[in-house]
Amino acid sequence: MPRPKSNDKPAKTPPGKIMLSEIQEQPEAIARLLDREYLPVWEMAKSWRETPPRFIFIAARGTSDHAALFAKYLFETMNGIPVGLASPSIASIYRAKVNMEGALIVGISQSGEAADVISVLQSAKRAGVDTLAITNAGSSKLAAAAHQVILLHAHPEKAVAATKTFTNTLASLVLLSAAIGDNTRLLAQLQRVPQLIEAVIKDAAQIQEKVERFRYLEECVVLGRGYNLANSYELALKLRETCYVRAQAYASPDFLHGPIAILEKGYPVIAFANKGVTLFSVLDVILQAKARGAEVVVIGNAPEALASADVAFTVNVKQTVPEVISPLPAIVAGQFFSETLSVLKGIDPDKPRGLHKVTVTL
Ligand code: AGP
C-alpha cells in the first residue's frame, strides 16, 4: 500500500470559490430551466389560463421567501391575481383551517426540505386546493407533497448562500406568470435574461475593484421598490450571512416613514435603481439620503440614479431591460459584491459561521 505523501492531503477549497462559481453558472442554469420547463409549465397552466386562480398564496423561507415577494408584484401586476405570503405557523403550529377555496398554494424551497412550507402544502392538499412546489430537488418531500412541481434545474447548490437557485426561482415564476397569462411578450423578455446576466458577469471587475472601500462596513440599509424590493431583502440577507454586516432592507417609501432618521454623515445606503415606473420614487429617496450626508451605493441600470451615487455598480446600462426582469441581473451584481466583500473581510462565504445549507424549521 503506498504511503501517503505529505502533500497528499485534499486541497483546501479557497474561501468563496464555490459561491463564486455558482454565481457564474447562472446564465447556463436559467437557460436550462427555460429549456426543460417551458413546455411542462405551459401545459400545467392550461386550466389556469381558462380559469385563473382566485388568489395565490405562497409559503417559503429565507431567500425563497424573497422570491415569493417578487412573485407578489409579478402575479398582481401581470396577471391581476392577488398574492398572499403565507405565515407557515398558521398551518404547522396553529393547525388553523383557513378557507383557501379557489386558490393556488405555492411552496418554494430550493432544498425541498422546509418542513413548515411542506405543512402549508399538505394542509391545502387535504382541503382539496391546488398546490404547486417550486424546488431544485425533484425527489424532495416538498415535491411529493404538491399536485404539480416546477423543477429549477439549477444543479446542486453547495454554498450556504443561495445564488443560482434564487435567480432560477425568479425565472420560474416569470415563466409561470407568462404561461397563466398566455403572455408571449413576457416569455420573450425572460429568454433574454441569460444574456443580461452574462453581461453582468463579464463586467464583474467594476464591482470587485470598488469593494475595498467597504472593508470595514458593519451596518447599512438596502432599499428597493416594486419588482426590485425582493432584491433589497435578498442582498441584505447575503450581506448578513456572508459578511456579518447588519444590513436592513426597506421598501424605499417605508424608509421615509421613520427609519430615515438613522442616517448621519457617511451612513451607507444601498439602493436598487432600475428603469421603470418605480424609478422616480427610488430616486427621490436616494436624493433625500444624499441630502442627509449618507454614502449612497446604487445598483442598477438607471443613469440618473447611478450618476447621483457615491459608488455605482452599473448593470446592463447599454441594454433595454424591462423593469419586470431587471431584478435578475441586478441581484447578480449584489451577489458579486457580497462574495468579494466576504473574502476581503477574511470570511469564507461558502461556509458562514454556524450555518448549514439546509435549515429545517417547524
Ligand atoms: C440563503 O442564502 C440562506 N442560506 C437561507 O435563507 C435559505 O434560503 C433558506 O434556509 C431557505 O432554504 P430552502 O430554499 O432550501 O427552503
Is the pLDDT score of 346 beyond 90? yes
162 lines ligand 1 (CB under 6 A): yes
Pairing of strands 130-135, 148-151: parallel
Q: How confident is the model at residue 9 (pLDDT cuts 50, 70, 90)?
A: low
pLDDT at position 93 is: 87
pLDDT in tens, 238-262: 999 999 999 999 999 999 999 999 9
Please name the residue whose Cα sits nearest to atom 2 of ligand 1: 161
Nearest to 299, CA basis, from 213, 231, 239? 231
Q: Which residues pair with 103 in a beta bridge?
A: 55
Quick check: CB of 109 below 6 Å from ligand 1? yes
- Say if ligand 1 is within 6 A of residue 69 CB: no
The residue to mutate among 61, 92, 164, 358, having the most atoms of ligand 1 within 8 angstroms of its beta carbon, is 61
Residue 90 has pLDDT above 90, yes or no: no
- The SS3 of residue 228 is helix
Decide if pLDDT at 175 tops 70: yes
- Please compute the mean of the pLDDT values over residues 285-296 and round it to a whole number: 97
Q: Which atom of ligand 1 is nearest to the CA of 108?
A: 14
Predicted confidence at residue 87, as pLDDT, reads 87
The C-alpha torsion from 21 through 27 and 28 to 33, rounded to 10°, is: 120
Take atom 6 of ligand 1 and give the residue whose Cα is closest: 62
Which of 150, 239, 359, 361 to mutate for ligand 1's pocket (most ligand atoms within 8 Å of CB)?
A: 359
Q: Given this model, what pLDDT does residue 7 score?
A: 58
Q: How confident is the model at residue 360 (pLDDT cuts 50, 70, 90)?
A: confident
Residue whose C-alpha is closest to residue 343's, from 19, 127, 6, 98 = 19
Q: pLDDT at position 192, please? A: 97
Average pLDDT, the chain: 95
Using CA atoms, how far apart are residues 214 and 334, in angstroms rounded to an integer? 13
Instruction: Check if 19 has its Cβ closer than 6 Å to any atom of ligand 1.
Output: no
242 lines ligand 1 (CB under 6 A): no
Instruction: Take atom 5 of ligand 1 and give the residue whose Cα is closest.
Output: 62
d(CA 45, CA 241): 36
Is the shortest distance between the CB of 18 and ligand 1 below 6 Å? no
User: What separation in Å is there between the alpha carbon of 264 and the centre of ligand 1?
Assistant: 33
Whether residue 161 has its Cβ less than 6 Å from ligand 1: yes
- pLDDT for position 359: 85
Contacting residues for 326 by C-beta, under 8 A, at least 6 apart: 227, 228, 274, 275, 276, 300, 301, 315, 316
Q: Which atom of ligand 1 is nearest to the CA of 355?
A: 4
Encode pLDDT of 266-287 as tens digits.
999 999 999 999 999 999 999 9
Atom of ligand 1 nearest to the CA of 357: 4
Calculate mean pLDDT across residues 142-156.
98
pLDDT tens track for 111-124 = 999 999 999 999 99
In whole angstroms, what is the distance from residue 95 CA to residue 116 CA? 11
pLDDT at 197 over 50: yes
Query: Distance, CA 308 to ligand 1 centroid (Å)?
Result: 34
Report the alpha-carbon distance of residue 161 to residue 19 in Å, rounded. Answer: 7
Q: Is the CB of 169 under 6 A from ligand 1?
A: no
Q: Is the CB of 62 under 6 A from ligand 1?
A: yes
Q: In this predicted structure, what is the pLDDT of residue 1?
A: 46
- Identify the residue whose cell numbers are 442598477: 300
pLDDT higher than threshold 90 for residue 315? yes
User: What pLDDT score does 81 carry?
Assistant: 98
Residues in the chain: 362
CA angle 297, 301, 304 (to 5 degrees): 70
Q: How far is the CA of 63 from the centre of ligand 1 (A)?
A: 5
pTM: 0.95
Q: What's the pLDDT at 8?
A: 57
Buried b (16+ CB within 10 A) or exposed e, 56-81: bbbbbbbbbbbbbbbbbbbbeebbeb
